[in-house]
Amino acid sequence: MHKYWLRQSGIEGDYVPLHVSAADLETVLRALPKMGFVGANVTIPHKERALEIADSVSARAAEIGAANTLFFNEDGEITAYNTDGYGFITNIRTNAPTWNAVDAPALILGAGGAARAVISALLDAGSPHIYLGNRTRARAEYLAAQFGSQVQVIEWDAISDSIHDVGLIVNTTARGMNGQDDLILPFEQAKSDVIVNDLVYTPLQTGFLRDAERCGLTAIDGLGMLIYQGVPGFQKWFGGNPKVDNALREVLLR
């Protein structure tokens, strides 16, 4: 994705994967600016630790408790950002322009790192209420406690009960990823204008999204979130305005 944008923008640069052990993370991050790197993305299992290592942390990354995007200044100081929530909300708004977070509650399935970013973005966008269901209830309770009374934990076995009430349903669990069973919800009980989003993007078309489409609902896949979370990083590292279009999606799908 970043290589595509670099080519499109005519910028001489590169984006390379580096496999780093947890024990070496700080040493590597401190060395990268000295080697000419302008920043980095960090992913599991480094997202929380990167926040501790950073010299400064954006308010959003602090709220989410994890970083995914790092920027190095000329002195090698590290600023940590989290752009997952931005990627999530931009994907929804782009694919469902009439959706407005303030209009109806949301149903979030899963309580891992991705759910944290999604909830933070939804509350920021004015969501009046969030139902949160997770297989391990204690994890949902822990997450909800950090966000306050707008986030209501519901039983995993009873997630269907709130479906008629919501305007947005998001699967942030790993269910539906290649090799995992699909999540099944009674979408026929949902309002006709409900937006259904799956963060899983391998496969792109999960059974969860297929079921939603079959019921005539707007189904949004997870690739858009992955793409949009990369936009602020590219802008900070390289400048310019990276374009998100079908050609980019095609490149990524290939």
In angstroms, rounded to a whole number, what is the distance separating the alpha carbons of residues 55 and 147?
25
Catalytic residue flag (residue 191): no
Beta strands 195-198; 168-171: pairing state: parallel
The least distance separating ligand NAP from the CB of residue 134, rounded to whole angstroms, comes to: 5
List 199, 212, 217, 231, residue binding ligand NAP (CB under 6 A): 199
Quick one: 33 or 230, whose CB is closer to ligand NAP? 230
> According to CB under 6 A, which one of 27, 56, 100, 136 is a site residue for ligand NAP?
136
Write down the least CB distance from residue 90 to ligand NAP, Å.
Answer: 11
**Which of 33, 113, 233, 242 forms a contact with ligand NAP (CB under 6 A)?**
113
Go through 83-94 and write b for each residue having 16 or more CB atoms within 10 A of its CB, e for each that does not.
bbbbbbbbbbee
Q: Which of residues 165-194 bind ligand NAP (CB under 6 A)?
A: 172-175, 177, 180
Which one, 46 or 175, has the nearer CB to ligand NAP?
Answer: 175
Which residue is nearest to ligand NAP, using beta carbons? Answer: 112
Interaction between residue 127 and ligand NAP (CB under 6 A): no
Distance, in Å, from the CA atom of 120 to the CA atom of 31, rounded to the nearest integer, reads 32
Q: Does 197 bind ligand NAP (CB under 6 A)?
A: no
Instruction: Using the Cα atoms of residue 192, residue 194, residue 195 and residue 201 in order, give the sign of their dihedral.
Output: negative
Is 225 exposed, middle or buried, given 0-12, 13-18 or 19+ CB atoms closer than 10 A?
A: buried
Query: E strands, 76-211, where?
Result: 78-81, 106-109, 130-133, 151-154, 168-171, 195-198
Residue 87 has which token pair?
A: 């990627």
Of the candidate residues 13, 65, 112, 203, the single one contacting ligand NAP (CB under 6 A)? 112
Phi-psi region at 190: left, alpha or beta (left = phi > 0; alpha = psi -120 to 50)? beta
x/- site string to ligand NAP, residues 41 to 70, per CB under 6 A?
------------------------------
Angle between helices 2-9 and 223-238 (to 10 degrees): 50
First-to-last CA distance in the chain? 12
Q: How, if at all, do strands 130-133 and 69-72 pair?
A: unpaired
- Contacts to ligand NAP from residues 66-95, by CB under 6 A: 84, 87
Interface positions, 139-158, toward ligand NAP (CB under 6 A):
139
Residue 33 or 96: the one with the smaller Cβ distance to ligand NAP is: 96
Choose, from 47, 191, 236, 243, the residue flagged as catalytic.
47
Residues that bind ligand NAP (CB under 6 A): 84, 87, 110-115, 134-136, 139, 172-175, 177, 180, 199-201, 222, 225-226, 229
Which residues carry out catalysis? 47
